[in-house]
Chain A
Amino acid sequence: MLERGEVANSWRRERWDSFRLLTPNWQSRLPGLHYEGPDPDGYMTMGEVTEFIERFAKLSRAPVRTGTNVTSVRRTDDGYHVTTSQGEIGCRAVVVASGACNRPAVPPLSEAVPPDVEQLTPFDYREPGQLPDGGVLVVGASATGVQLAAELRRSGRPVILSVGEHVRLPRIYRGRDVLWWMDASGVWDQRYDEVDDLTRARRLPSPQLVGTPERTTLDLNALTSLGVELVGRWAAVRDGRALFSGGLRNVFALADLKLERLLDAFDEWARTRGVDAELGPPERFAPTRVPSSARLQLDLRGGEIRTIVWATGFRPDYTWLDVPVVDEKGRLRHDGGVVDSPGLYALGLPVLRRRRSTFINGIEDDAREVIGHLARHVAVRRGS
């Protein structure tokens, strides 16, 4: 196992200070390691996740070579040639487990932002005090965007949040964590070959959730109540002005409708399972409040906005992978983790084999199946 940094590197280096998992503690499951602390319904801090992964590395006796950066993987006649910062390796098979979120994805329109506005990505952001005083434009309303918008607003700054398509979820539904429902009702077990539109499922933004001791909901209504101003998707910069889409109402409608359908499915599951009595009564949430007049433009030279935070998602980095298996969008071409090149495998990608693959607790089943394939591949090669 080659790791360019340390064990749990992404958690150590690529998260902000107040970061907590949005999955509850009991869902942080790795093969043979379950959360056994006092607060199964709580959410791990960055330090706690790091410790958890370190514990797993020890427990599993994973042969990790830290400080070993992979700079190239090339095909050979009977496998792969791997070049690392610590030397060369020949091998029969390679598992790409380098993560799905190696780089913040920042749209090209960022280049048209006037130079006196500071720009940060979630990889640069640590805490509000690091930003200049004054207004912040947070771009993107998925998990990272809503969390940073709330934290920056609470620090006293005026915050504008640019909202595109998003996934709205309450933290708690009928007395249970909404991710308990995802797990228990089988939504997360839906397999990649059963999903209607797999490309879409794999591109689905993260849900508007935050893990806090209070277990509060952080949807757009909560942000509006905090005083965050909502604007539409950022479409262009023209003459130093940011132009936002006028389609805000529809992205609200789409998210509200999807939430309603999801809750209907949860209720239906609870009824057929006969577990209604163990749960609170069904609830429905108020529609997302539409601002009375959402701004369509914002002068970026006026001084109102001092900082832009790009919470526009993350992308993997395969610049080191010299095998033609990456599509024009920079995504690995694979079928459930079996990459389009014999002996090459992937783990840890969104909806790799099932919806839960996106999360820490999805690795166990995925790894078993993918490594099963790998073992057969190696055995066949050996036999021939």
Chain B
Amino acid sequence: MTTVANGVNVQALLDAREVLKGAPEAAQFVWRASSKWQNGVHSTSTVKEFYGLGAEQTHRNEAVFDADHPEVFAAEDNGITPIEYLLVGLASCLTAGVASVAQNRGIQLRSVEATLEGKHDIRGILGVDADVRNGFTDIKVTFNIDADASKQDIEALVAQSQKRSAVFDALTNPTDVTVEVA
């Protein structure tokens, strides 16, 4: 396993798994983001702090994300569409999973590329047809992976990464969401 270098510290993850088995409180994380309206449908969100391992934590740098809508929506396109952030989240989560599982299984990766397509019928959000949902109709992820492994092993990597993916779960299963006015 030491001969494989995908840049994932699997030992740290496995150690964490052992430690957290006996300390479920430390496993409770809170992820945070805050956003500010700019103008039109343009907003800016920032992410810096989060909570985990029983303490407040911070990212090395604050990250700033602009979200807007494209010109075909009569907007200024100062950033990607909010629903596209879901694709970004899913792609990066599954890719991180592929790398971690590959490291754990002793598979050397050379390249991992994914293309994502989320089908979306916008009649839902526009209120044209009440039977059309607001969110994605469906999402398709296609991985192109070059690695020292059989096709079967690569398929197993991708399956396992879905099985352990936070974003895959968040998109495929319902989540209780509260939105309130402070």
Closest-CB distance, A27 to chain B (whole angstroms): 30
CB contact between A260 and one of B152, B171, B172 (< 8 Å): that residue:
B152
Closest-CB distance, B28 to chain A (whole angstroms): 16
Task: Please provide the chain A residues from 218 to 277 with a CB less than 8 Å away from any CB of chain B in the complex.
Answer: 232-233, 235-236, 238, 243, 245-247, 250, 253-254, 257, 260-261
Q: Considering the complex, give the chain B residue whose CB is closest to the CB of A261.
A: B152
Q: Considering the complex, give the chain A residue whose CB is closest to the CB of B171.
A: A246
Q: How far is the CA of A261 from the CA of B163 in the complex (A)?
A: 18
Residues in B neighbouring A246, C-beta threshold 8 A: 171-173
Q: Considering the complex, give the chain A residue whose CB is closest to the CB of B173.
A: A235
CB contact between B155 and one of A238, A247, A253 (< 8 Å): that residue:
A253
Residues in B neighbouring A260, C-beta threshold 8 A: 152
Is B143 part of the contact surface with A, judged by Cβ < 8 Å? no
How many pairs of residues, A versus B, come closer than 8 Å at their CB atoms?
A: 36
Task: Please provide the chain B residues from 157 to 182 with a CB less than 8 Å away from any CB of chain A in the complex.
Answer: 159-160, 162-163, 168-169, 171-174
The number of chain B residues with a CB under 8 A from chain A is: 13
CB contact between A250 and one of B152, B159, B173, B174 (< 8 Å): that residue:
B159
Residues in A neighbouring B174, C-beta threshold 8 A: 235-236, 238, 243
Is B156 part of the contact surface with A, judged by Cβ < 8 Å? yes
**Do most interface residues of chain B lie in helix, strand or loop, or is the interface mixed?**
helix
Q: How far is the CA of A235 from the CA of B152 in the complex (A)?
A: 29
Q: A236-B173, A238-B174 are in contact. Are A247 and B152 (CB under 8 A)?
A: no
Q: How far is the CA of A260 from the CA of B150 in the complex (A)?
A: 13
Q: A257-B152, A257-B155, A257-B156 are in contact. Are A250 and B162 (CB under 8 A)?
A: yes
Does B152 contact A254, Cβ atoms closer than 8 Å? no
Residues in B neighbouring A243, C-beta threshold 8 A: 173-174
Q: How far is the CA of A236 from the CA of B175 in the complex (A)?
A: 9
Residues in A neighbouring B168, C-beta threshold 8 A: 247, 250
Q: A260-B152, A261-B152 are in contact. Are A247 and B173 (CB under 8 A)?
A: yes
Closest-CB distance, B165 to chain A (whole angstroms): 9
Q: How far is the CA of A260 from the CA of B172 in the complex (A)?
A: 26
Q: How far is the CA of A257 from the CA of B155 in the complex (A)?
A: 8
Q: How far is the CA of A238 from the CA of B174 in the complex (A)?
A: 9
Interface string of B82-111 (1 = CB under 8 A from A): 000000000000000000000000000000
Residues in B neighbouring A235, C-beta threshold 8 A: 173-174
Does A247 contact B156, Cβ atoms closer than 8 Å? no
Residues in B neighbouring A245, C-beta threshold 8 A: 172-173
Closest-CB distance, A8 to chain B (whole angstroms): 38
Q: How far is the CA of A43 from the CA of B159 in the complex (A)?
A: 34
Closest-CB distance, A279 to chain B (whole angstroms): 22
Closest-CB distance, A39 to chain B (whole angstroms): 37
Q: Considering the complex, give the chain B residue whose CB is closest to the CB of A165.
A: B163
Closest-CB distance, A123 to chain B (whole angstroms): 28
Q: How far is the CA of A137 from the CA of B163 in the complex (A)?
A: 24
6 smallest A-B Cβ distances: which pairs? A246-B172, A247-B172, A235-B173, A250-B162, A253-B159, A243-B174
Q: Give the interface of A toward B (CB within 8 A).
A: 165, 232-233, 235-236, 238, 243, 245-247, 250, 253-254, 257, 260-261
Write 26 A-B pairs (CB below 8 A) sorted by A numbering: A232-B172, A235-B173, A235-B174, A236-B174, A238-B174, A243-B174, A245-B172, A245-B173, A246-B171, A246-B172, A246-B173, A247-B162, A247-B168, A247-B172, A247-B173, A250-B163, A250-B168, A253-B155, A253-B159, A254-B160, A254-B163, A257-B155, A257-B156, A257-B159, A260-B152, A261-B156
- Known pairs A235-B173, A247-B172, A250-B168; list 9 more (Cβ under 8 Å): A236-B174, A243-B174, A246-B171, A247-B173, A253-B155, A254-B160, A254-B163, A257-B156, A260-B152
